Structure 1
Amino acid sequence: MVNRPLDISRLPTADGLALSVETRHAAGDPVLLFAHGFGQTRGAWAGSAQALAEIGCRCVSFDSRGHGESDRLANGDYHMDQFATDLALVARSQPRLPILVGASMGGLLGLVVAGEMRPSPFRALVLVDITPRWETAGVERILAFMQAHPDGFADYAHAAEAIAAYLPQRRERKTEDQLRPLLREGADGRLRWHWDPALLAGVVSESERYQPRLMAAAAKVDVPVLLLSGGRSDVVSRDTVNEFLQLVPHARHVELPAATHMLAGDANDAFTREIAAFVGELDRHDAPTGAVAN
């Protein structure tokens, strides 16, 4: 196993915030840019990013605004276009066109950026258990969990218990070290999630009316696309996947049968293998005639 160096930096946005960006194996090629889901942090990608850096990729992950160690908006006025602009900014800060790996919200933002911005700042897209139209019941379950503990938790054990109830398919509970990046201690000593509560009022309220725009953007995506879905997901379904494949006929779909919507966490090894295979196919396709792909 190769121990790849990790660098954490701050990337300023046009509206005065700073995004926390983590890079593994800065000299690697190709570039993989990981965009997390709503309410997550860049830490959601740690296992996959480390494994893919070890096989030679430059792996970049970041906390979206209002999440993790990135700045929050003082007025709490969050909108989806801000997140899309931030994603394009991180992509264009890379030395080469990145392959986007986007989960849930991160994948939807990738569709908007890839479909609407020309030239596209991505070499290819990997969408992780998300389609332009989703199953409302699954999203409502996620939001119910996010809204369930407005007063936070008394301690890390209480938070671990809540996560275990939400993710019963996980065999191991989160440790205190794993929970520290996900929680902040308030002045009252209570532990609360790392994300800005104002996000629930802004971005979530826009999501349903974004669907026509997402459908239109998907139809314009002209880079290679891999859709990875969980066989036990309640956010995407056979119907939403088939609809997406009609919109993007050049996309390839792979289902991981044992995984839920939390694909990277439920089946990290299989998830990482699929990304590595996709990257290998891209490299072979782009190799000059007569060249031997590594």
Structure 2
Amino acid sequence: MPLQRQTFTGFQNLALCADVGGRNDAPPVILLHGGGQTRHSWGKAARQLALAGLHTLAVDLRGHGESAWAVDGNYSTDAFIGDLNAVIDTLEQPPVLIGASLGGATALLAMGESQTARARALVLVDVVPRMSPEGVRHIRDFMMGSPEGFANLEEAAAAVSRYIPNRPKPPTNEGLMKNLRLKEDGRYYWHWDPAFQARSARERLADLHQRMENAAAKVRAPTLLIRGRQSDVVSEEGARLLLDLMPHAEYVDIEGAGHMVAGDRNDVFNEAIVSFIQRLK
């Protein structure tokens, strides 16, 4: 099922790009990727959800992919929450929120800090309040590691292989163009605003952990936590701490997947989320 590109107006009138599929009157699902990723990081998940009879929206976060960059550099946690709430406000029904990493933190906070029911269910993909500092540092180092860009797709592919050494290499590097911008200097740059990482390093992690714990304790909607068993970001201990805060939550630990769960084991990931959503009342 083909997905259609659509633009939403987010917080502070910032333009958000999304791939949308399925019937408009079907139960909605919003997918939010992680920091430094794009809506394409979900692999086949968005199409699979649309084929399962759901109105699916895979959204590029502000400053990522084809969404606009914040001219004032506002990549605060509250700005991401504001963008999500703006998309939710366009829907006729409360959606299921599926968020990976930063997208998951945004979804959790939008639900737990709201006075009204913003969504009917939540799927957290390899994100918990107490994340492993080494794994977070690994992500940050990758995102800040190539400020000068790349001369060609092969250089970009080599950087990805160093970051995710266990993932099989694709037959071609053309898929990387969904995550790169070719600028006037003839070099390729990652498809995110450098101001995003500068802000996240000093603001987001400083207050995010406690906010997420407080929000998790307030969420009563059906919740699924999906962890990549080889993740260096979410440990088993971190997962159990979240489950203590959300005793109603279901938990799936996917063998053979790291932090990029949807990309590492897309088949198992898709089965887990489709099964969870189909069991919702």
For 1:95 and 1:28, how far apart are their aligned partners in 2?
A: 8
Residue 27 of structure 1: how far off its partner (Å): 3.6
Following superposition of structure 1 onto structure 2, how do residues 245-260 of structure 1 map, counting pairs within 5 Å?
Answer: 245-260=243-258
Residue 174 of structure 1: how far off its partner (Å): 6.9
SS at match of 2:58: strand
Do the aligned partners of residues 180 and 71 (structure 1) sit closer, same or farther apart at CA in structure 2, a change above 3 Å counting? same
For 1:270 and 1:125, how far apart are their aligned partners in 2?
A: 18
Contact residue 43 and residue 263 of structure 2 kept, 8 A: no
Identity %: 40
165, 170, 188: which is aligned to 2:167?
A: 170
Query: What do you get for the CA RMSD once the two structures are aligned?
Result: 1.4
For 2:81 and 2:239, how far apart are their aligned partners in 1?
A: 23
Task: Specify every segment of 5 or more residues in structure 2 that has no aligned partner in the other structure, as ranges.
Answer: none
Residue 211 of structure 1: how far off its partner (Å): 1.1
The aligned residue for residue 37 of structure 2 is 40
The aligned residue for residue 211 of structure 2 is 213
Following superposition of structure 1 onto structure 2, how do residues 80-229 of structure 1 map, counting pairs within 5 Å?
Answer: 80-173=77-170, 175-206=172-203, 207-229=205-227
For 2:11 and 2:144, how far apart are their aligned partners in 1?
A: 30
SS at match of 1:15: helix
For 1:168 and 1:110, how far apart are their aligned partners in 2?
A: 29
Contact residue 68 and residue 195 of structure 1 kept, 8 A: yes
Structure with higher Rg: it is 1
Alignment-mate amino acid for residue 203 of structure 1: S
For 2:276 and 2:194, how far apart are their aligned partners in 1?
A: 36
239, 242, 255: which is aligned to 2:240?
A: 242
Q: State the TM-score, normalized to the length of structure 2.
A: 0.96
- 204-213 or 56-65, larger mean C-alpha shift: 204-213
- 149-158 or 93-102, larger mean C-alpha shift: 93-102
Alignment-mate amino acid for residue 247 of structure 1: L
The aligned residue for residue 57 of structure 1 is 54
For each residue in 1:26-82, what CA deviation from the matched residue of structure 2 results, as whole angstroms up to 9, or x when unmatched? Answer: 346322110000011111124111122122121111111101111111232321100
For each residue in 1:151-174, what CA deviation from the matched residue of structure 2 results, as whole angstroms up to 9, or x when unmatched? Answer: 000001111111122111211237
- 56-65 or 266-275, larger mean C-alpha shift: 56-65
SS at match of 2:12: coil
SS at match of 2:115: coil
Residue 217 of structure 1: how far off its partner (Å): 0.8
Task: Specify every segment of 5 or more residues in structure 1 that has no aligned partner in the other structure, as ranges.
Answer: 287-294
SS at match of 1:19: strand
SS at match of 1:11: strand
SS at match of 2:277: helix
Following superposition of structure 1 onto structure 2, how do residues 248-287 of structure 1 map, counting pairs within 5 Å?
Answer: 248-282=246-280, 286=281
For 1:167 and 1:65, how far apart are their aligned partners in 2?
A: 24
Q: State the TM-score, normalized to the length of structure 1.
A: 0.92
Following superposition of structure 1 onto structure 2, how do residues 61-80 of structure 1 map, counting pairs within 5 Å?
Answer: 61-80=58-77
